[in-house]
């Protein structure tokens, strides 16, 4: 039974004497563009029940499996409860508890020492998950004088945003309420974004046709008017083939192209190479389907495009892929048009709702361009300049070389070494650091490598500001007292600022003072939210006009939409969105004979988000073993059956996994979820298998082979390490297993 007022005691559950309180909060396990509302039933500082909050206008009471399992996530026995200082050799897990004051004083002493001896650039700062702390950590990093602020965006959505910005100077989003046709490119919201999935269902019920693009058959594919099932890594070729159909059939927006495009003649000449026949040969998409989709998207006015944050850029041709497909928006005149792709100002932490804050100004107390060169800047100058970050994929090599200057310390929040390709190399390179700090909820495999481990709170134990697209925001009230001595990440950062950057008049005042400063353009303060424990409507935003480029032009060197990117040209890169095969291609790679299958990694599963929920019993029970998805046709050719233990191999090495036979994948393509600690598919990827523009790893287009696992060949080499694969998963794993033989000690 729900209480009439928030926080009013409820009757206890059967046989329980303590009263239960319902406390509203949010789930922060996955992406900050979602963060569903939660009603936490709390008794004796413990969550006893989880429900979706119907009052949250974004999630409307719905929860995915991850949010529904929050109770097991928050109260897991692996939770860190006190600061820990390493005693024994690095990586062996020998730590002793220390106090917070000792921990923070030690950090300040070491970091200031390195700054004095080797310069502030010798200290790097990293933000993984969750993302709520990022504006504060970036401000601390730059205020300290270090350019080496890096995040998991080194492999996430920033490359797609870069591609949009190279074409348009901004990254627009689909105007779903007004569109009459939606082109969805490599996105699976049913598994990754429940509110978005519901929005798309409403479109379909309204009669809006969906064009779904991607090699994997998803729940959305089943509902789409057209599904273009392209070979992984060929989105660029498919988009260029569609562009040729649109241009050669006079379906493009002549007025927009004439007045507001740059380099169209060069683009038009180039796309003539991508005949329907050649496009089919490259992508595997039947030419009739490709032509049908191109005509539907171009002829239906207005039409919008919904792209993936990363699926199209996780290739060695990623940024150019994304430039080609997003060029279709301008080509058809759907840029910043009603029902097309609308440009909205950013509000707070990746959310756009018509309001603006001073987040960007807050997190930049100085210009990063005035500081020392960043990690990865020489290799990927465009990406580093666009993001204002270092490219973390180059951290392992930098630590090994210690050139052009040494990096002596890394202060990490939520470090996950399995995020990197060849994570064994990153793990080894961390030994080069003089001092590694990791802040996390759990004592992870990455935390074991640290010198100092600090316990962070979950979203249930802290206050944070969260904006939603529905003109709504919340400053959460903690549903629990912090477990043990754990603390909110931002409070840790602000305490560090008092020791490292005492001149910072904002950060040293604490979390709420910083938020008040950022929220000033909205005319609100944190106090305006404190009486609204479930959040509140925001004042009506100023209407955001369409076609803003007609008044201001585009934020590009030419002032127009650029088919021919002047920034790419100035950086010595191909200015047209030209298509190149992935470096490991089944068409022309010398490895194709030994490794005839295409491996794509990172496909979402509804119960997991990266490596964060493997330890949760309810969720792990839904998917207990690491599996490689393989088409039944390919499995039969290799004598494989459902559930067989198989060897998944690339040129770099092999891992032991189960075979999952499914027609969700086309023949010749296999897929595996990432970050399994006992079968980490990223171990099979070379560290330099990267996109040249962004530095993103080619996670989604490699070459591999799958064969029946044989005990006699159980010792398989991965890089320079040997992994004994003879033990059955979840057995004989020593102290990392609980009494039910389930792994509980995960990243």
HSE-up (13 A, CA, CB side) for residue 350: 15
Alpha helices in 261-340, H assignment, sequence order: 264-271, 276-283, 287-299, 318-331
Structure tokens given for 621: 């029970």
Report the 3 state secondary structure along 677-712.
CCCCHHHHCCCCCECCCCCCECCCCEEEEEEECCHH
Under 8 Å between Cβ of 418 and 746: no
The closest alpha carbon to 296, from 446, 179, 411, belongs to: 179
- ∠ CA 237-243-249 to the nearest 5 degrees? 140
Using the structure block, give the residue that is written with the tokens 């239906």: 300
Give the pLDDT confidence score for residue 659 in this predicted structure: 98
pTM here? 0.93
Q: What is the pLDDT of residue 129?
A: 87
Among 457, 475, 533, 466, which residue's Cα sits nearest to residue 45?
457
Q: Checking DSSP bridges between strand 149-151 and strand 472-475, what pairing results, if any? A: unpaired
CB 380 within 8 A of CB 573: no
Q: Are 496 and 108 in contact (CB under 8 A)?
A: yes
Give the integer Cα–Cα distance in Å for 193 and 179. Answer: 20
H/E run at residue 721? strand 721-724
Q: How many CA atoms lie within 13 A of 416 on its CB side?
A: 28
Q: What whole-number distance in Å separates Cα of residue 672 and Cα of residue 663?
A: 14
- Cis peptide upstream of residue 330 (ω within 30 degrees of 0): no
Q: Is the Cα torsion angle 61, 612, 359, 455 positive or negative in sign? A: positive
- The Cα–Cα gap between 72 and 615 comes to 9
Establish how many alpha carbons lie within 13 A of residue 238's alpha carbon, considering only the half-sphere containing its beta carbon: 30
| Helix, strand, coil share (%) of the chain residues, nearest 5 | 35, 20, 50
Which residue do the tokens 């993001």 mark?
Answer: 387
Q: How far from each other are the two terminal CA atoms of the chain, in whole angstroms?
A: 37
pLDDT for the residue numbered 13:
46
Query: Exposed, middle or buried: residue 709 (CB in 10 Å: 0-12, 13-18, 19+)?
Result: buried
**Torsion, CA 703, CA 708, CA 713, CA 718, rounded to 10:** 30
Domains of the chain, each with CATH number or no CATH:
84-153+349-474 (3.40.50.740), 173-342 (3.40.228.10), 597-736 (2.40.40.20)
DSSP 234-279: -HHHHHHHHHHHHHHTT-S-HHHHHHHEESHHHHHHHHTT--HHHH
Distance CA 176, CA 566 (A): 31
The crossing angle, in degrees rounded to 10, of helices 235-248 and 264-271 is 100
Nearest to 154 by CA among 316, 314, 307: 314
Distances (CA, A) of 49 to 30, 45, 104, 161: 20, 12, 35, 39
In the block, which residue shows the tokens 């490709």? 290
* Tokens of residue 383, six digits: 């990406």
| 302 preceded by a cis bond (ω within 30 of 0) | yes
Query: For residue 189, which of 219, 163, 233 has the smallest C-alpha distance?
Result: 219
Omega within 30 of 0 (cis) for the link into 161: no
Q: Exposed, middle or buried: residue 588 (CB in 10 Å: 0-12, 13-18, 19+)?
A: exposed
d(CA 464, CA 107): 25
> 126: helix, coil or strand?
strand
* H-state helical runs in 145-234: 158-168, 189-192, 194-205, 219-223
What is the C-alpha separation between 419 and 425, in angstroms, rounded?
Answer: 12
Q: Which contiguous run of DSSP H or E holds residue 435?
A: strand 435-440
β-pairing, 645-650 with 702-708? antiparallel
Express each pLDDT in 157-182 by its tens digit. 999 999 999 999 999 999 999 999 99
Exposed e or buried b per residue across 9-22, where buried means at least 16 C-beta atoms within 10 angstroms of its C-beta: eeeeeeeeeeebbb
- What is d(CA 618, CA 624) in angstroms, rounded to the nearest whole number? 10
Q: Which residues of the chain have pLDDT under 50?
A: 1-15, 717-747
If DSSP codes are grouped into helix, strand and coil, which group holds residue 195? helix
Supply the pLDDT for residue 18.
79
In SS3 terms, 459-520 reads as HHHCCCEEEECCCEEEECCCCCCCCCCCECHHHHHHHHHHHHCCCCCCHHHCHHHHHHHHHH
What's phi and psi for 722, nearest 5 deg?
Answer: -115, 130
């Amino acid at each position: 039974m729900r209480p009439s007022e928030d926080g009013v005691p409820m009757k206890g559950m059967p046989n329980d004497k303590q009263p239960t309180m319902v406390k509203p909060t949010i789930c922060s396990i996955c992406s900050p563009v979602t963060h569903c509302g939660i009603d936490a039933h709390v008794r004796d500082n413990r969550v006893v029940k989880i429900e979706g909050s119907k009052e949250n206008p974004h999630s409307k009471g719905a929860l995915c499996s991850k949010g529904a399992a929050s109770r097991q996530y928050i109260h897991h026995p692996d939770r860190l409860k006190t600061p820990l200082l390493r005693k024994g050799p690095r990586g062996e897990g020998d730590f002793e508890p220390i106090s917070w004051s000792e921990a923070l004083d030690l950090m300040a002493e070491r970091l200031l020492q390195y700054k004095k001896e080797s310069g502030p650039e010798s200290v790097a700062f990293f933000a993984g998950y969750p993302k709520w702390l990022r504006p504060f950590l970036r401000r601390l990093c730059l205020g300290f004088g270090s350019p080496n602020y890096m995040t998991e965006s080194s492999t996430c959505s920033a490359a797609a945003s870069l591609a949009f910005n190279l074409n348009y100077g901004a990254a627009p989003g689909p105007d779903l309420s007004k569109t009459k046709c939606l082109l969805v490119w490599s996105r699976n919201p049913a598994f990754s974004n429940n509110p978005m999935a519901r929005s798309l269902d409403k479109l379909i019920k309204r009669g809006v046709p969906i064009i779904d693009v991607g090699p994997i058959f998803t729940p959305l594919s089943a509902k789409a008017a057209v599904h273009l099932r392209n070979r992984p890594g060929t989105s660029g070729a498919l988009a260029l083939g569609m562009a040729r159909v649109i241009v050669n059939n006079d379906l493009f927006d002549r007025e927009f192209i004439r007045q507001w495009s740059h380099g169209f003649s060069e683009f038009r000449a180039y796309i003539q190479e991508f005949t329907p026949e050649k496009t089919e040969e490259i992508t595997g998409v039947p030419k009739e389907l490709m032509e049908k989709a191109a005509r539907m998207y171009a002829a239906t006015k207005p039409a919008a495009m919904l792209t993936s944050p990363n699926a199209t850029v996780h290739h060695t041709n990623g940024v150019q892929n994304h430039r080609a497909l997003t060029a279709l928006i301008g080509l058809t005149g759907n840029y910043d048009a009603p029902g097309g792709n609308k440009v909205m100002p950013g509000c707070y932490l990746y959310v756009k709702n018509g309001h603006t804050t001073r987040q960007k100004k807050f997190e930049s107390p100085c210009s990063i361009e005035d500081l020392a060169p960043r990690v990865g800047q020489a290799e990927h100058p465009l990406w580093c300049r666009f993001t204002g970050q270092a490219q973390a994929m180059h951290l392992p090599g930098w630590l090994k070389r210690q050139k052009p200057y040494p990096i002596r310390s890394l202060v990490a929040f939520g470090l996950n070494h399995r995020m990197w390709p060849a994570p064994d190399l990153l793990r080894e390179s961390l030994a080069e650091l003089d001092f590694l700090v990791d802040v996390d909820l759990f004592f992870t495999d990455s935390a074991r490598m640290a010198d100092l481990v600090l316990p962070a709170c979950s979203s249930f134990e802290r206050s944070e500001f969260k904006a939603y697209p529905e003109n709504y925001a919340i400053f959460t009230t903690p549903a629990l007292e912090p477990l043990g001595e754990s603390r909110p990440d931002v409070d840790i950062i602000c305490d560090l600022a008092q020791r490292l950057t005492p001149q910072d008049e904002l950060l040293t005042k604490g979390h709420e003072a910083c938020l008040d400063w950022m929220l000033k353009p909205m005319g609100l303060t944190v106090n305006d939210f404190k009486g609204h424990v479930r959040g509140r409507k925001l004042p009506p935003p100023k209407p955001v006009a369409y076609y803003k480029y007609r008044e201001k032009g585009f934020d590009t060197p030419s002032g127009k939409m650029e088919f021919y990117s002047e920034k790419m040209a100035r950086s010595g890169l191909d200015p047209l969105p030209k298509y190149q095969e992935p470096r490991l291609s089944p068409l022309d790679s010398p490895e194709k004979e030994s490794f005839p299958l295409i491996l794509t990694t990172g496909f979402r599963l509804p119960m997991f988000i990266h490596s964060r929920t493997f330890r949760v019993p309810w969720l792990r029970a839904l998917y207990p073993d690491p599996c490689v998805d393989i088409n039944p046709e390919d499995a039969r050719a290799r004598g494989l059956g459902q559930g067989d233990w198989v060897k998944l191999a690339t040129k770099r090495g092999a891992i032991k996994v189960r075979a999952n036979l499914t027609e969700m994948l086309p023949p010749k393509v296999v897929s595996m979820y990432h970050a399994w600690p006992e079968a980490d598919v990223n171990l099979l990827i070379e560290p330099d298998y990267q996109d040249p523009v962004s530095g993103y790893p080619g996670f989604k287009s490699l070459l591999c082979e799958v064969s029946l696992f044989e005990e006699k060949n159980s010792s398989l080499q991965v890089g320079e390490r040997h992994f004994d694969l003879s033990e059955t998963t979840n057995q004989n794993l020593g102290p990392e297993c609980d009494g039910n033989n389930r792994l509980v000690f995960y990243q």
